[in-house]
Amino acid sequence: MMVNLHRYTGLLMAIFLIIAGMTGGLLAFNQQLDDWLNQDLVEVNHGQSTQNPALLAPLAIATSHDSVISRYPEYKFSSMPTQIEPNKSLIFTVDYLWGEEAKRLPQAPFDSVYVNPYNGNIIGVRNTKAWTWRNLMPKVFELHRSLMLGDAGRLLLGFVALIWTLNCFIGLYLTLPRPSYIKQSDYSANKAPSKPTLPKPLPSSLSRYLKRWRPAWRIRRNINLFKFSYDAHRAFGLWLWLIFFVLAWSSVKFNLNPVYDPVMRAVVGLQPWSAEVNAPVNAVAAKSPNNSSNSIRDSKDEARLKVAPLSNQSTSIGTGYLSDAQSTIYSVTKVNSVPLLKNLATKEALKAGADIEQTLGIRWIDTPTPQWQMRFTTTKDVGKYSGASSITVDALTGEVVRVNFGFQADRAHQLDYWLASLHLGQIGSDGGLGHRLYQVFLLLVGWALVLLSGTGVYIWWRRTGAKKRRLGI
């Protein structure tokens, strides 16, 4: 029964896993390939060949942001990059509109704006949803995630991933050698039992069992195509079993969360994510009605209310306003937000016994009490997805509202972060040797998945043909 279950579920999944393996292998180098296809937007000539050394110094990120919102005042750009890479443009993304806001405001015909960080000039815009050659990698990602079928495609791939997860265990079971028992008389001639008993394995049965399992891990030499396909299918499935299981189950996480969450809750105790997992740094102060920091907040809130009737440009410091139009009642402005939050994040990380590894971006949160939030990774974090850290600061007072460190999450969430990071290739720091090696490994795993699926279909086809020949069909 297990053989038929493995065979026919494998046939059902084959085409989907071949697509996933091919696209996933490419996505291991997603950023590098996308940059190569869009060199005219990504690469910047900032005047290295000129005699003017001033051209080598980039502008402040806020100044580049000013260029974007001045050029496209009808759209929102509430986030900013936090790092300038040499010879690379800055990318500002347009806010995606949801709900009522989407009905009232126009959606931008592009989603990214590329800016020269050395002079503030806009290099160009890009709509990653358009069918053009420069959007090859976004389309590969869409094919990998949803077969380009939207939510229906994601749901379909979620069920395929669930079957793949179960099939990992079935396939592993089928490679195991069948238990071998010996006669009781061979067990010990001097310690023969007084009455008949069931056969028992030798005390050294584990080593013998593993020795019998060893051929399943090997590919024989000088064999025909069918035997080679069979050996490769079995051996690659064993060698890469753990990463295949990780990719399968993490795919369930991304595409079939209603199944993933209850299982993880039952198995490892994973609870729904909450902002309270890591309490605010000033939680005690925030609850104290007589705390002096609250008095400062109240006085500045009153000041804000007094100037509220004035024009928005003179009273708001959100990223939708120019750098030279910031109100002085705010402690954190677009101009000082990046260095200030990075400095605060560094201090908080040191208190927690970690170092800042990379800042990922900063955004303006336009709430009744406006805030700035920066995401970053530390030397103890796992990946840049849900395992990253963040710091949130009150724009009015400059106080740290909350710091969430990914590495301080409980073990269940740490496991969840690892699953996502291994799937997305976010192992090691960007550009580091460990990261590059893992990218190559994921590429090889993608090819191996195609090989397993292809050999599985071939084995079924050959055996079906042989059966028909025996039956004379």
**DSSP readout, 162-210?**
HHHHHHHHHHHHHHSPPP----HHHH-SSS--SS-------TTHHHHHH
Do 391 and 402 lie in a common domain?
A: yes
Interior CA angle at 38 toward 48 and 105, to 5°?
110
- CA–CA separation, 389 and 397 (whole Å): 22
**pLDDT per position as a tens digit, 128-168:** 999 999 999 999 999 999 999 999 999 999 999 999 999 99
Residue-level pLDDT at 318: 84
Q: Is residue 80 part of a domain?
A: yes
**pLDDT per position as a tens digit, 224-276:** 999 999 999 999 999 999 999 999 999 999 999 999 999 999 999 998 865 44
Residue-level pLDDT at 197: 55
Rounded to the nearest integer, the mean pLDDT of the chain is: 84
Q: Is residue 185 part of a domain?
A: no
Question: Parallel, antiparallel, or unpaired: how do β-strands 389-394 and 400-404 relate?
Answer: antiparallel
Do 314 and 419 lie in a common domain?
A: yes
Do 20 and 30 lie in a common domain?
A: yes
pLDDT at 331 over 70: yes
First-to-last alpha carbon distance for the chain, in angstroms, is: 24
Q: What is the pTM of this model?
A: 0.82
> The tokens 């091919």 sit on which residue?
22
Domain encompassing residue 118: 39-135
Domain boundary among 104, 135, 166: 135
pLDDT at 51 over 60: no
- Give the least confident one: 17-31, 87-101, 181-195, 301-315: 301-315
Do 145 and 9 lie in a common domain?
A: yes
Q: Find, among 447, 424, 419, 420, the residue nearest to 236 by Cα.
A: 447
Count of structural domains within the chain: 3
Residue-level pLDDT at 276: 41
Mean pLDDT for 55-65 is: 87
% of residues, the chain, pLDDT over 70: 81
DSSP one-letter code for 88 = B
Residue-level pLDDT at 291: 38
Do 9 and 156 lie in a common domain?
A: yes
Do 68 and 11 lie in a common domain?
A: no
Collapsing DSSP to helix, strand or coil, 219 comes out as coil
pLDDT at 344 over 80: yes
- Give the least confident one: 9-18, 140-149, 278-287: 278-287
- CA–CA separation, 116 and 181 (whole Å): 74
Do the Cβ atoms of 310 and 330 come closer than 8 Å? no
In which band, very low, low, confident or very high, does the pLDDT at 180 lie, cut at 50, 70 and 90? low
Do the Cβ atoms of 24 and 141 come closer than 8 Å? no
Q: Find, among 371, 378, 362, 370, the residue nearest to 392 by Cα.
A: 371
% of residues, the chain, pLDDT over 90: 65
Q: Is residue 16 part of a domain?
A: yes
Tell me the CA distances in angstroms from 318 to 35, 66, 325, one per residue in order. Answer: 30, 12, 10
pLDDT at 294 over 60: no
Do the Cβ atoms of 423 and 251 come closer than 8 Å? yes
Residue-level pLDDT at 296: 34
**pLDDT per position as a tens digit, 181-213:** 544 444 444 455 555 555 555 456 788 888 889
Do 411 and 371 lie in a common domain?
A: yes
Mean pLDDT for 454-460 is: 94
Do 268 and 290 lie in a common domain?
A: no
Q: Is residue 255 part of a domain?
A: yes
Do 128 and 144 lie in a common domain?
A: no
Do 269 and 280 lie in a common domain?
A: no
Beta-carbon contacts of residue 252 (< 8 Å; ≥ 6 apart): 158, 161, 162, 165, 259, 260
Q: Is residue 430 part of a domain?
A: no
Q: Find, among 100, 95, 131, 126, the residue nearest to 113 by Cα.
A: 126
Do 152 and 280 lie in a common domain?
A: no
- CA–CA separation, 283 and 379 (whole Å): 25
Do 257 and 286 lie in a common domain?
A: no
Residue-level pLDDT at 167: 95
Q: Is residue 211 part of a domain?
A: no
Residue-level pLDDT at 282: 40
In which band, very low, low, confident or very high, does the pLDDT at 286 lie, cut at 50, 70 and 90? very low
Q: Is residue 190 part of a domain?
A: no
Do the Cβ atoms of 184 and 199 come closer than 8 Å? yes
Q: Which CATH number is 300's domain given?
A: 3.10.450.40
Q: Is residue 205 part of a domain?
A: no
Q: Which residue has the higher pLDDT, 454 or 367?
A: 454
pLDDT at 311 over 60: no
- CA–CA separation, 291 and 284 (whole Å): 9
In which band, very low, low, confident or very high, does the pLDDT at 398 lie, cut at 50, 70 and 90? very high
Q: Which residue has the higher pLDDT, 205 or 395?
A: 395
